[in-house]
Amino acid sequence: MSVLKRRAAKRKRDDSLKAQLAEVTADRDRWKENAQRLQRERIGEVWLWQGDGEDHLESLACPILITADQLREELEEAHAKGKEVNA
């Protein structure tokens, strides 16, 4: 095998390994973020959105867990009331 062919093969392996590393790193980061979220939830450092009218965003200073649908509803209500929303 010529030197050029060996270099090309090595480059192809390196590129494949770099892609695999990027994928594994992204997976690791997602799992780490999920574990941190669960830890914060377990020790009560987050507010679990209830949607029962007793959630007062202006009084909360912690991360809030809310579904996308619930957030859209809250934003629509605020907009309908003419409130300025920074989201």
Within the chain, what is the greatest distance between any pair of CA atoms?
73
Query: What is the pLDDT averaged over residues 44-63?
Result: 83
What is the average pLDDT value for the chain, to the nearest integer?
87
Host domain of residue 59:
46-87
Task: Give the CB-side neighbour count of residue 70, counting CA atoms within 13 A.
Answer: 12
Q: Please report the pLDDT score of residue 87 as a whole number.
A: 59
pLDDT grade, residue 17 (50/70/90)? very high
Nearest one of 53, 46, 58 to 70, comparing CA atoms:
53
Residue 50 and residue 39 share a domain: no
Residue 54 and residue 36 share a domain: no
Residue 37 and residue 4 share a domain: yes
Q: What is the pLDDT of residues 18-52, one digit of tens each?
A: 999 999 999 999 999 888 888 877 777 888 888 88
Residue 40 and residue 16 share a domain: yes
More confident residue, 70 or 83: 70
Provide the pairing of β-strand 64-65 with 47-48: parallel
